[in-house]
Each structure stands twice: as structure tokens, then as C-alpha cells.
Amino acid sequence: MLSTQNPAALPDAATLRRLCQSLAALDAVNSPEPEYRYYTFNPHWDQGEALFEMSDGEGDQMLVLFREEGCCINGYLDGFDQPDKTQVTRGLPEAFDEFMFGEPVNSIGTTFCLWYTPAHGWQTGVLPADEDDGSDELLSIFDGDPATYTDWANEYFIDETDRDPIAEEAVAAVYAHQPLTKALVSALNSELEEWAQLEADLQEIGYPYDFS
């Protein structure tokens, strides 16, 4: 189980970045309306920085900052106590200080924090005494298993609609960073019609596609 108790199970920064792009591309396909997407990715968030965001629209949020030094995850779960931020970030590399103590993280809040550097792998600060920070709820999507996204998306996007179920094989292809084709998109969202919007979204995400 992925959590702050088991950070070594998370993928390295480069692998995680590719997965974050894949998740954002999958949500762009499944939800032409941006306001209903859980996952977004901005490869040009700031100079030398990329940002992945998960937001459920009900208060839970996770931000992942990517820099050449590695990456840093800030998680906030509504209803969980916020620990002393100086404790959960103890040992945080200076490269991530502005991210963790600036905006938008400062306004969102922090219930857990993890960071990765090539020299030391995944690390976290001092964990809460009760050892339950809810991190497993948000980090589970990073397990690299296409079934995890497929099961969630079929419930979130497909339940109570007439859409065909999302094919796990198509999700696996996106996890493998295969270029999105019209056939692959149709296996994910058989009703998609906003091709120009999707093309623009994929360009923003930096995910490969070929709709010719």
C-alpha cells in the first residue's frame, strides 16, 4: 500500500512524471469539461517546474511539483487534522521550500508531504503520532496498475450513463505513453466529439497523439 508509511513503494520522479501526464491525458479524454476532471498536468507551471494536481472538488487535493532536483508531493484531505507543517517537512530540500511554504499550498493546507531526490529516494518528515494521515487514499493512484484508474473512472465517469465502459487495455496503453489515436480515444470514451478541444488539452499536457 502506498502511503507515507511506505514511501519506497512510490515510483521514481521520472516514472511518476510520465504517469501524471498519462492520468491527465486520460481525464482529458474522459471529461471534455475541465471542471469535472480529477487530474491535470501543467509541464510549464513555472520556469523549470511542472505541476500535477488532483482535486476531487470536495476539498481533497494533491499537488506534485517536478523540478530537476526531483519532486515533492503535498497532500490535503478534508476532515483530517493538519499536523505541524515544520515537522512533516523536516529535512525537506531547499529546492522545494517555496512550493511547500508558498502558494497555492499554503492556502490549500497540508496533511502529508513526501519528496524524492535521486540521491536519497523518497523521504518524509516526522509523521503524526497516530500514523494515520490518509495518504494512502490519495497516493493509491500512483501504484502503476491500469486497473486502479479503470475501476475508478468507470464508476466516476460511466456510472448512470449510457457510455461504453472504459477498456483497461486502452488505459494500459496510455500508461505506457503510447500516442493517443482516434481508435485509442474511442476505446476510452466512445462518445467523444470535441477533438479540437482534446488536441489542445494534449498539447498543454505534453502527451503524444496522432489524430491523422
3-state secondary structure 6-59: CHHHCCCHHHHHHHHHHHHHHHHHHCCCHHHCCEEEEEEEECCEEEEEEECCCC
Tell me what pLDDT residue 39 has. Answer: 97
Domain that holds residue 33: 7-144+192-204
Lowest mean pLDDT, pick from 7-21, 40-54, 83-97, 126-140: 126-140
Give the pLDDT mean for 74-96: 94
Give the pLDDT mean for 191-211: 95
Give the pLDDT mean for 138-146: 96
What distance in Å separates the CA atoms of residue 113 and residue 92, rounded to the nearest whole number? 9
Q: Is 162 within a domain? A: no
Q: Is 171 within a domain? A: no
- Predicted confidence (pLDDT) at residue 124 exceeds the cutoff of 90: yes
What distance in Å separates the CA atoms of residue 138 and residue 2, rounded to the nearest whole number? 9
- Predicted confidence (pLDDT) at residue 161 exceeds the cutoff of 70: yes
Give the pLDDT mean for 49-59: 93
Q: Please, which pLDDT band fits residue 127 given cuts at 50, 70 and 90?
A: confident
Give the pLDDT mean for 160-177: 93
Please tell me the pTM assigned to this model.
0.95
Counting the structural domains of the chain, the total is 1
